[in-house]
Amino acid sequence: MVEARRERWPSLTSLAVLLPLVLALVSAPAAALAGALRPRLAAVAGTAFAALSALAVAWGWSMGGGTVDVPWAPSYDLRFTVTLDGLAVLYALLATGIGFAVLVYSSRYLPLHLEHQGRPESDGGSFYFFILLFMGSMVGLAMAQDLILLFVFWDLTAIASYYLIGFDRHEEDSRASALMALLVTGVTAVLLLIGALMFYAAHGTFSIPELVRLTEPGPLLTVAGGLIAVAGLAKSAQVPLHFWLPRAMAAPTPVSAYLHSAAMVAAGVFLIGRVYPLLQKSDFLLDALLVVGLASMAVGGVLALTRDVLKQLLAYSTISQYGYVVFMYGLGGKYGATGAAFYVLAHALSKSALFLTAGAVTEATGETRLSRIGGLRKPLPLLAAASGLAAAGLAALPLTIGFFKDELFFGAALERGAPFAVFAVLGAALTFAYVWRFWSGIFLGPTRDGARGVPAALVWPVVVLGALVLIGGVLTEPFAELAIAAGTVSLDAPATVEPAYHLDARPENLMALATFAIGTLLILSRPVWSGSARAASRFGESFGPEKAYDLTIRELNRLSDFVHRAEVRDLRSRVAAILLPAGILVGAGLLATPTTDVYRVGEVQLRDVPLLLALVSVAVASLTTTFTKRHVTLALVLSSVGFVLAVVYAFFGAPDVALVAVLVEVILTMVFIATLKLVPRKVLHRQANLPTERPWRKVFFATVAGAFAFAVVWGTLSQPAAEQSVADEHLRLTPEAHAKDSVTAILADFRGLDTLGEITVVALVVLAIATLLNRGRLR
Amino acid sequence: MNSSVTSVLTRAISKLLLLPTLVAAAAILVKGYSQPGDGFSAGVVAGLGVLLQYLAFGREEAEKLPVVRSAGVLAFVGLLLALLVAVVPLFLGDPLLTHYPPPEGEVLIFGTLEILTAVLFDVGVFLLVFGFSVVTTSILARTIADEEEYALEEPVGEGEEA
């Protein structure tokens, strides 16, 4: 074990690290508590906590950040290591800051949303709880330095997203989308865990900085790093695992805004940024990132040009935008990682503002499609201006923060080579075209009637975010510093970028001009290519990965149905299917074993007579069951077998077993009779008088299974065990466990884990019984 | 419910038996480490005590007992308790499900009752098994009552599947 960086704490450093984390993590329960007191308080408390967390992150960063490292499960080498470094600050600020804007927006949006759907206001409580849980787990994720801790927060975000996407739970589409998001990101999360375990197996630590120090380029790094990267790419909705994101638009708009800019999808590229020091050691992984990023840029960009529903357009735009980020990580070089961090920051501001605009527009007009909206600049001038700024930022116009995101993007591409620069320009031109389509479609064109005004709380968050986009274009320094700090972590080396305006013919500027020209050309030539873009979209729908997902889910369901039916349809066949193979296998084993002189009949003494009598009555009772017709009698005869067996245990000096046998037999008999009471008496009577079906088949199965079992048990009992059994060991250890009764010591101590597993099954059975017998009746 | 001599006797006896049953269960539970018996048996014994109340007094009376109403919660509290006993050692740097005091340690003894975490684990098992049997009983009882009600409402009980 590596000696941990020991700090004296509580110190100011640990406070600077822990305060943001704790504030962000307690915000969800705090909002739930406030909501329990009064539904309206949930929004207030949530917003306040988001603001406090954002301030705490900023304060912690101004204190210089730091690391807190505590073991939490030393037996498994698990450590609770959180660091407030540049990368963590970037994503924590996004999660809390944009979280704050989204929560302010939601405080007005959500009541309207619930009202449209005829749901009570108290339904909003779970919304605030989960969106704040989302925020808290994002902050935790951003700060985690231990791969397992990171995995825990990673899965927490998936759980929160499941409930948020499926917030309109009465709609089937909503539930299916939530499940899809959970499955795609949850199944790939397992890859992250596997990758982490592979690294642990090789290097004995889960700590990312340690791993960066220890790993060498090689197959292990490629495979384990690749698995982790796949988890990140799936969460960032990169091709070919992008299909869940457009479906996730079923979520309420504030959730989409948050999911796309600061949480969930951002978490994916965050993970890549966090493990980038590992990934960049493998050229293969960098090239793979390049390919995936390019494909996502193309697919997302082209499809965004074909979509009519506002939120769908934005969803595909997100896919392509994170494609740029992944592309930049793949490019490597001195601009790559830092440029990617800057890009995430600039994109988050613009994209959240555009989503909130879409929500406000839908609220004002009741429409969700571009083709049915237009001319809204008249009724909503402030919104038009603010979202215009955000759109300009996404389209990378000068004087916005977005200009620099593209400057860095072009710089990184140029450094790698001319073909990459061409791809970069084409991608950026696509962005230019669809952003124009979005904004002009909403706000320009002929004015339409019927637009209501929207509450101020739906406009002001957009204004603030739009203003930030503009400020970032003029005062770029603080934003650049944040990106440099994040890039330094990702590169594991000092990073520098100097975003600034240069009024000369440097390649970046020329590329920007080319982008605007090609983008304008794309906009003007829309009639020429729109047919083929739609064809591409239809092709994707028919043969894309979403089809594969649907097919997998359907086939899994069918397999499950098949197994279920095979198991429950015919009780007799099921019993036979277990007894016959078991009997044959045991019999084959017996025939292969030499059995001469093995079987012994022990001496029968006078004191064995009660035991023998008990065994005879067990045999008689068992035989009786085969002739009994009435169900109640059958239940009683069966239980008498159990009771007599309990007596046998008592004779053999196993009081614990006897006690349990009696108790179980009582309960079983009761349940048996209670169940029989549920069947109408006439049905029972009719069933009891039916002739036995295929009796010889049953006799055959029973004889084969019974005869071989008897032969084997007899043979085994005839010979004393050759070596010391585990039972002696248990008996020896019993006093050491402070016990006098070894059965209890075995249950609670030696084999305690088995007991734990068994009682968990019992708890699940309670739930299953309740569900089955309540048949959907809610209390 | 008929009021024959048998049922009067049953009621009287079951009323008398409830408390002793629970005491017996508690004894089986805490003495499990020195004598036959453990959390499972104790849970079933206590559960049978409650079942007897159902048989004697009927569902509605029995469900007034506080243990019956909180049985589901008890079951999951039990599971949680057992899980805690298993997991807490992890945070102390020991393997999963390490019991305290360790083999060479001293055990606090009150009379014949020994205090150690293994007993706590067993208490978790007890609560779960007890909760399980009571929940099952009450759900079955309610289902039977519902079916009878249904049968009374619609005398033609057959031909359901058609």
Q: Residue A769 corresponds to which tokens in the numbers above? A: 């019984």
Confidence category of residue A194, pLDDT binned at 50, 70, 90: very high
CB contact under 8 A, B157 and A763: no
Confidence category of residue A569, pLDDT binned at 50, 70, 90: confident
A380-417 in b/e form (b: 16+ CB < 10 A) is beebbebbbbbbbbbbbbeebbbbbbbbbbbbbbbbbe
pLDDT score at A58 = 92
pLDDT tens track for A637-678? 989 998 998 988 888 777 888 888 898 899 888 888 888 887
ipTM of the complex: 0.84
10 Å CB burial of residue A8 (0-12, 13-18, 19+) is: exposed
pLDDT score at A53 = 94
pLDDT score at B90 = 75
Per the prediction, chain A carries an average pLDDT of 86
pLDDT score at B157 = 44
Task: Give yes or no for a contact between A346 and A476, defined as CB atoms under 8 angstroms apart.
Answer: no
What's at A429, amino acid-wise? A
pLDDT score at A154 = 94
Task: Assign 3-class secondary structure to A365-434.
Answer: HCCCEHHHCCCCCCCCHHHHHHHHHHHHHHCCCCCCHHHHHHHHHHHHHHHHCHHHHHHHHHHHHHHHHH
pLDDT score at A724 = 63
Confidence category of residue A321, pLDDT binned at 50, 70, 90: very high
Percent of chain A residues past pLDDT 90, beyond the cut: 29
CB contact under 8 A, B151 and A680: yes
Confidence category of residue A134, pLDDT binned at 50, 70, 90: very high
pLDDT score at A449 = 67
pLDDT score at A3 = 38
Strand B108-110 relative to strand A78-84, pairing: unpaired
Residue that the structure tokens 């990171």 belong to: A150
pLDDT tens track for B133-145? 899 888 888 888 8
For residue A309, which phi and psi values (nearest 5 degrees)? -70, 130
Task: Assign 3-class secondary structure to chain B.
Answer: CCCCHHHHHHHHHHHHHHHHHHHHHHHHHHCCCCCCCCHHHHHHHHHHHHHHHHHHHCHHHHCCCHHHHCHHHHHHHHHHHHHHHHHHHHHCCCCCCCCCCCCCCCCEEECCEEECHHHHHHHHHHHHHHHHHHHHHHHHHHHHHHHHHHHHHCCCCCCCCC
Mutate which: B77, B79, B85, B154, vs A, most A CBs within 10 A: B79
Q: Which of A660, A760, A762 sits opposite B41 (nearest CB)?
A: A660
pLDDT score at A556 = 92
Mean pLDDT across the stretch A613-622?
Answer: 90
Cβ within 8 Å of residue A121, ≥6 positions away: A39, A40, A111, A114
pLDDT at A55 over 90: yes
Nearest-Cα distance to chain A for B123, in Å, is 10
pLDDT score at A722 = 63
Transcribe A108-145 into DSSP letters: HHHHHHHHHTT--GGGHHHHHHHHHHHHHHHHHHHHB-
Q: Is B115 on the interface with A (CB under 8 A)?
A: no
In A, which residues are within 8 Å of B48 by CB distance?
A: 663, 666-667
Mean pLDDT across the stretch A146-161?
Answer: 93
**Dist CA A285 CA A630 (whole Å):** 70
Mean pLDDT across the stretch A388-401?
Answer: 90
Q: Residue A492 corresponds to which tokens in the numbers above? A: 């594991």
Q: A635 to each of A175, A578, A638, A678, how far by Cα in Å?
A: 44, 22, 5, 15
Residue A83 bridge partners (DSSP): A67
- Least Cα distance to A438 among A322, A321, A517 occurs for A321
Confidence category of residue B5, pLDDT binned at 50, 70, 90: low
pLDDT at A7 over 70: no
CB contact under 8 A, A682 and B157: yes
CB contact under 8 A, A763 and B95: no
For residue B114, which phi and psi values (nearest 5 degrees)? -100, 140
CB contact under 8 A, A770 and B86: no
Confidence category of residue A76, pLDDT binned at 50, 70, 90: confident
Cβ within 8 Å of residue A288, ≥6 positions away: A226, A229, A330
Q: To the nearest 10°, report the CA torsion of A288, A294, A295, A301.
A: 160
**Dist CA A344 CA A66 (whole Å):** 23
**Dist CA A230 CA A279 (whole Å):** 12
- Hey, is A357 helix, strand or coil? helix
| More confidently predicted of A628 and A693 | A628
| More confidently predicted of A102 and A539 | A102
User: In which element (H, E) is residue A523 found?
Assistant: helix A507-524
Mean pLDDT across the stretch A605-620?
Answer: 87
Mean pLDDT across the stretch A695-712?
Answer: 87
Half-sphere exposure of A229 (CA within 13 A, CB side): 25
pLDDT at A776 over 70: no
